[in-house]
Copies of this chain bind each other. A is one copy, B any other.
Amino acid sequence: MDLRTAVVGLLVAAASLQAQAPARQALVDDLVTANHILANEGVVDGYGHVSVRNPANASRYFLARAGAPALVTAADIVEYDLDSNPASSVGNNTAAGYMERFIHGEIYKARPDVTAVVHCHCLDVIPFAATNTPLKPMYHMGYFIGEGVPVFDIRAAAGMTDMLVSTPALGQSLARVLGRRSAALMRGHGAVVVADSLHVVVAKAYYLNVNARMQLQAMQLHGDGVVGLSPEEAKKAAQTYERSWDAWKSRLPR
């Protein structure tokens, strides 16, 4: 390769990076908004996290460094490779990462179709995991529950633990239980939710919880006589949830 070719190649690469910069910034901003919405709507409290795959490089994902979702800013976003090691950094690369970031990395590895992941301690689903009560899709906003929502029990993978999915092996176990589905409950812990966009994953996490609350109410009325969506209805009722995102964004403080 002569100098000229090398220089041209360098210029092309630089131009490509520059062209990607605005898209990257927009995605990071959307990820910050996703953090704030999840906190403001009570899907996460001080704990829980949301990530998005880098659309320009499918083997990278963006996730905030360890911190409360309500307080995340663009400077907190780190880019990880799929082994969940920091790759390049938007802000401070040396900041501590979430101990459970392997949830994200291992699911992105196992599921090329997944673009965004939420891990939450959604309060209304934990009683379902604690009693092995299958979730049912109660209305079209919870359509994806029709795929089934398996329960990940960390004991089956690793015996007695601190309940955290804090190693690649545990992330792989969780990804296996999740399979091709949109969500899995985690016994004594919470849930993981995936989707093909950041807006949709936020909404699925929100409605997973809402749907659980309604199902509990329905079971109190008539335990074994609850009729939600049929499997076929659930498939047909897929949502973009774009109006939810608009409404939630408009409700953020400041």
Contact surface of A with B, Cβ cutoff 8 Å: 39, 45-47, 66-71, 121, 123-124, 126-128, 130-133, 137-141, 155, 160-164, 187-190, 210, 213-222, 225-230, 232-233, 236-238, 241, 243-248, 250-251
Given contacts A46-B245, A46-B247, A244-B46, contact A140 B123 (CB under 8 A): no
Nearest chain B CB to A236 CB, angstrom units = 4
Given contacts A221-B219, A237-B163, contact A188 B229 (CB under 8 A): yes
- In Å, the complex CA distance between A229 and B161 comes to 10
Extra contacts besides A46-B246, A128-B221, A137-B188 (13): CB < 8 Å: A39-B247, A46-B243, A46-B245, A66-B243, A123-B213, A126-B218, A127-B218, A127-B220, A127-B221, A132-B222, A162-B238, A216-B217, A219-B221
- In Å, the complex CA distance between A77 and B1 comes to 63
Given contacts A222-B133, A243-B47, contact A140 B127 (CB under 8 A): no
Report whether A236 and B160 are in contact in the complex, using a CB–CB cutoff of 8 Å.
Answer: yes
Given contacts A67-B243, A124-B217, A189-B140, contact A160 B233 (CB under 8 A): yes
Nearest chain B CB to A127 CB, angstrom units = 4
- In Å, the complex CA distance between A129 and B225 comes to 11
Report whether A140 and B236 are in contact in the complex, using a CB–CB cutoff of 8 Å.
Answer: no
Given contacts A128-B221, A221-B219, A250-B68, contact A189 B139 (CB under 8 A): yes
Report whether A126 and B46 are in contact in the complex, using a CB–CB cutoff of 8 Å.
Answer: no
What are the 10 tightest A-B residue pairs by CB atom distance, in nearest-first order? A46-B244, A127-B218, A131-B222, A46-B243, A68-B247, A46-B247, A127-B217, A162-B236, A140-B163, A68-B243
Interface pairs (30), CB distance under 8 Å: A46-B244, A46-B245, A67-B243, A70-B251, A71-B250, A121-B139, A123-B210, A123-B213, A126-B139, A127-B138, A127-B214, A127-B217, A127-B218, A128-B221, A130-B138, A130-B214, A131-B222, A131-B225, A132-B222, A137-B188, A139-B163, A140-B163, A140-B164, A140-B189, A160-B233, A162-B238, A163-B236, A216-B217, A216-B220, A219-B221
